Amino acid sequence: MFIPFSTVKKCSSRGREDQTVVANLNRTILCSLSSFPYFALVAFETGGILRLLILLIVAPLAGFLHYFISESVGIQVLIFASMAGAKVSDIESVARAVLPRFYAEDLHPETWRVLSASRRRYVLTANPTIMVESFLKEYLGVDVVVGTEIEIRNGRATGFVRQPGVLVGEKKAAVLVEMFDKSPHIGLGSASSDYPFMKLCKEAYIVPHDTKVKPMSRDQLPKPIIFHDGRFVQRPTPLKALIIILYIPVGFLLACLRLAAGILLPMRYIYFVLYVLGIRITIKGTPPPPPEKSTRQSGVLFACSHRTLLDPIFLSISLGRPVTAVTYSVSRLSEILSPIKTVPLSRNREKDAAMIKKLLEEGDLVICPEGTTCREPILLRFSSLFAGLTDQIVPVAVENKMTMFHGTTARGWKGMDSFYFLMNPSPAYQVTFLQKLPQELTCTRGKSSHDVANHIQKLIASTLSYECTSFTRKDKYLALIGNDGTV
C-alpha cells in the first residue's frame, strides 16, 4: 500500500522549540500494536480475576471486529468488557497509580524524540481519555489529550461511550476543533485512519511498526516514575493474562502451603522447607548472636530496608529465631497469620519511643525506618525515631525478586500482600547483615538521631546499589491514592 508520508526517522528534532506536534497514541507514541494489556490492567485492578477472564474471552471478538468491521467497534467491545459497572474513581486510580509504569516501558524512541523537542504537544487516541490522560500530561508533558469519552452514571462507567463515539475517523475533526484555523507544525501517525489529520499538518511523518525497535528506557522520561501500584509485575499480553488466570488457583494453594510452613514449623527449619517449596533465601554477612537474658543484655535493633510486609519474617528466618517487629500499619489478617510477634506503632513519638525501649529490654527487635515499601531501587527517608533509643544497631539490607505478582499495594487490601508475594512461582529474598554500628557513630557518643538515621540509610543504599532519597510515606500515598497514608 502506498504511504504518502516520510518515516519519522527523517523528521529533524532541531529548531522545534516553538512548534506544535499532534500525535496518535497507539502504534505511534506506544510501540505495541495492541491496547489489550492496558485494558487488562484496568479490568483486573477494578474487577479482579473474573473481569480479566471476561475480557480475555471477548478479546478475539474485539480483534475480529477491529479488522473486519471497524476499529471503533473493536475498541467499544474492550471498553465494555473492562469497564462496565466499575467505579469511575477506581478507573482514575488505576490510571494514576498503575498504568504509567507500563506506558513508560512502551514508548517509541523516535516518536518521543520529536515529541519532546516540541513546545506544544497534542495527543489523539481511540482509547478512553480517563485511561491515558494522567500519564500523558504528568510524565510526557502533553498539553491536550483528545480521546474517547466514556459514559458515566451514578459514579460508575456504563461500558458505553459518549458522543461522538470512539475517536478513530473523527481525528481530523478533533484537530480542527482544538487548533481552530491553525495548522499544526508536525503530525505523527501510523495507520490509514491517521492520514486525514496528518494532512492538516505542515509536516507529517509515519511511524512504521518495526519489531526491532526497542522501547526507550524509563530514565529518559522528563519525570521519573518512583511510586507505582498494581499487582502485576509484567505487562499482561493475552498469553500472559491466560497464564495468570490458569495459575492463580494453583498459586493460591502454593501460597497457603508456604504460609502454613512458616506458621507451624520452628523457625530454624523454615529456611529448608521454603527452599523445597521454591522460595530462595540468600543470607550474607554475620548476624549477631541472641542476647543473653542472664546478663540483662539489651537486645539488638535491626534497622532494615523495606520491600514487603514479609521483611521481618525473612530476617527472622535468616537468624533462625523469631524477632519481634514493630510496624506502622498492617491488616488484622496479617497480624493473625504472622509467625513472629508484631507490635504496631501509634505514631505518637514519645509513646512509641517508650514502647521500643521496653521491647529491646526483652530481646532483639526489627524495624523498617522507611515506614512504607518502595518497588524502585531507592530508599525512602529513614525515620530518626529508632536511632536515639539504643547504641546496639545492626543495619540490614533486604532485596527481593518477584516475577508474576507484586507483594505490596497502596490501593488494594493489604491483607492479601503476603499471599500475592508467596503466589509467585519462585520468589527470592536476599538478606545482608552489615556490621554493627560503631559506638562513635551512635547517639551515645554525641551524634544526632538524624545523622545516625541518614548514615544507616547510606550504608544500606551503598550495599544494595540503591539511591538515597528524601521521599516519605506521605509522598508515596499522595502520589498513588491522594492521601497521606494514615490508617
- What per-residue confidence (pLDDT) applies to 209? 84
In the predicted model, residues of the chain with pLDDT beneath 70 are: 1-3, 165-166, 168-181, 293-296, 483-487
Give SS3 for 225: coil
Contact between 315 and 431 (Cβ < 8 Å): yes
Contact between 20 and 184 (Cβ < 8 Å): yes
- What per-residue confidence (pLDDT) applies to 296? 64
Beta strand 150-153 with 467-468 is unpaired
d(CA 158, CA 87): 10
Q: Mind listing the domains of the chain with CATH numbers?
A: 6-210 (3.40.50.1000), 238-480 (no CATH)
Q: Where are the beta strands (DSSP E) in 391-480?
A: 393-401, 428-433, 467-468
Contact between 43 and 133 (Cβ < 8 Å): no
- Give the cell for residue 173: 475533526
pTM above 0.85, yes or no: yes
d(CA 39, CA 309): 29
| pLDDT tens digits, one per residue of 338-376 | 899 999 888 788 898 899 999 998 889 999 999 999 999
- What per-residue confidence (pLDDT) applies to 42? 97
Please state the three-class secondary structure of 300-320 as a single string. Answer: CEEEECCCCCCHHHHHHHHHC
Contact between 400 and 307 (Cβ < 8 Å): yes
- What per-residue confidence (pLDDT) applies to 220? 83
**Residue 313 burial (CB < 10 Å; 0-12/13-18/19+)?**
buried
Sheet bearing 144-148, strands edge to edge: 6-7, 203-206, 186-189, 20-24, 120-128, 144-148
d(CA 402, CA 362): 35
Nearest CA-CA partner of 136 in 161, 156, 154, 111: 111
- What per-residue confidence (pLDDT) applies to 1? 47
Nearest CA-CA partner of 431 in 322, 310, 342: 310
Q: Where are the beta strands (DSSP E) in 255-344?
A: 280-284, 301-304, 324-327, 342-344
Q: What is the DSSP string of 104-132?
A: HTTB-HHHHHHHHH-SEEEEEEEEEHHHH
Which one-letter amino acid corresponds to residue 228? H
